[in-house]
Structure 1
């Protein structure tokens, strides 16, 4: 594959992973280093719930390999409270809080929309237009069926934004359109949301699908509740022949 493929998990600090994926006795403060030694990317999901400090981003940068990449989940203030309306101030506050401190390790910004938010072309284009003040890769994960609309995909293409391909055990609509020069995939669980393991057969299907895409690919396993996410990320990475370092810094 000539394109850059990044595979990892959504977050890393989960009690369910301790004593299973994380070796017994591993200090919690070393969990990021342990995971980053085995996958080549992680999706920051804590950034959705609250603003972090620039020092947090600098710490994450310093504790991961040189060629590591983080995706960052945009704040719920923008997506769930403001519902994409009048977002300039909130976006400035988010970008000023430190994500750009990651430098070349910052991958796409993920914007996960609430299931109650329908597609409004005017609101959506105003949001995408505001985002252009911070030139960066962005990915949108809608969860309302009204986004299955040619105008939505046309706007994403106009602004170079990826439509997230999300496997949600059928809970939310799945959108498979590729709208940017990169693809963004979130695997929340095929049978049970945030929990179920991905079978070898399903991982084989995803590996074949990813090989068929052009452009960079970002894949994050969010089936974190029972510890399947890191195992699945490693299994998919092996299928795609990704060369990731082992146990960096641990």
Structure 2
């Protein structure tokens, strides 16, 4: 399809005991789980980086294991985002970025900066934080996404700030927190969190068809109808890469949901 970005679909992490025998074949060595997941999906959100720093050798090994065309989103350290004054996070941001994520090379996807549900919007402080996020790391272009979960972010000022910074605001499909569908960056980052365990694919066929349509519209530069927006101002109409992650909800169904989405997107 002309004038459209790439669409990736995946899960959060790859180590989860209930996936053994449901997603992973029985008897598959644990050391080969990433290899299996990376060949059946097109993206994974690395969660371990949220809790602790990793070794450069680990990032290099993960990149080597995944096939060409696969990408890893990297969840930023909570030390960067779980703080009273975000403007003071410079040292923590530098330490997080310097741990070795550049070893992922061309398989480095967006960096996810997730904020606590209690973190309210302070325009000056949040702008200062966005200014701490570099555009490049060791020659690699960086893409940043912010996931905010406090209702105070439901203001045009925040959307305008994110757009000026070129940072994507995460679209989170959940009833727990406010939904923000405004497209603010040159890519779209969606975290779908409403899977059900009584659905073999996590979502019913109608819901999967709907998210497939949404993904195509985002990739074509459109702002899909039926979502919740903060502003009436649409994003610039241009092709965008789209990253869709099946997160939480019924986690055991996340791989099946991602695979079902990929199948609808044209990947068998």
Same fold (TM over 0.5): yes
Aligned-partner Cα distance in 1 for 2:85–2:31: 35
- The change in CA–CA distance for 1:206 and 1:144 in structure 2 (over 3 A counts) is same
Of residues 168, 172, 176, the one that matches 2:177 is: 172
Unaligned 5+ segments in structure 1 are 244-250
Equivalent in the alignment of 2:91: 89
Aligned-partner Cα distance in 1 for 2:264–2:32: 27
Equivalent in the alignment of 1:148: 154
Write the deviation string for residues 5-25 of structure 1: whole angstroms up to 9, x where unpaired: 111101110001011111110
CA RMSD of aligned residues (A): 1.7
- The change in CA–CA distance for 1:27 and 1:83 in structure 2 (over 3 A counts) is farther
Equivalent in the alignment of 2:241: 216
TM-score by length of 1: 0.91
Equivalent in the alignment of 1:247: none
Equivalent in the alignment of 2:119: 117
Of residues 51, 70, 73, the one that matches 1:71 is: 73
Unaligned 5+ segments in structure 2 are 222-239
Aligned-partner Cα distance in 2 for 1:175–1:224: 19
Aligned-partner Cα distance in 2 for 1:102–1:72: 10
**How do residues 1-250 of structure 1 correspond to structure 2 at under 5 angstroms?**
1=1, 2-81=4-83, 84-132=86-134, 134=136, 136-168=142-174, 170-189=175-194, 197-213=202-218, 214=221, 215-223=240-248, 226-242=251-267
CA drift at 1:64? 0.6
Aligned-partner Cα distance in 2 for 1:131–1:179: 15
Aligned residues: 239
Where 1:130 maps in the other structure, the secondary structure is coil
Aligned-partner Cα distance in 2 for 1:224–1:174: 16
Aligned-partner Cα distance in 2 for 1:133–1:77: 20
Where 1:184 maps in the other structure, the secondary structure is strand
CA drift at 1:81? 3.6
Where 2:8 maps in the other structure, the secondary structure is strand
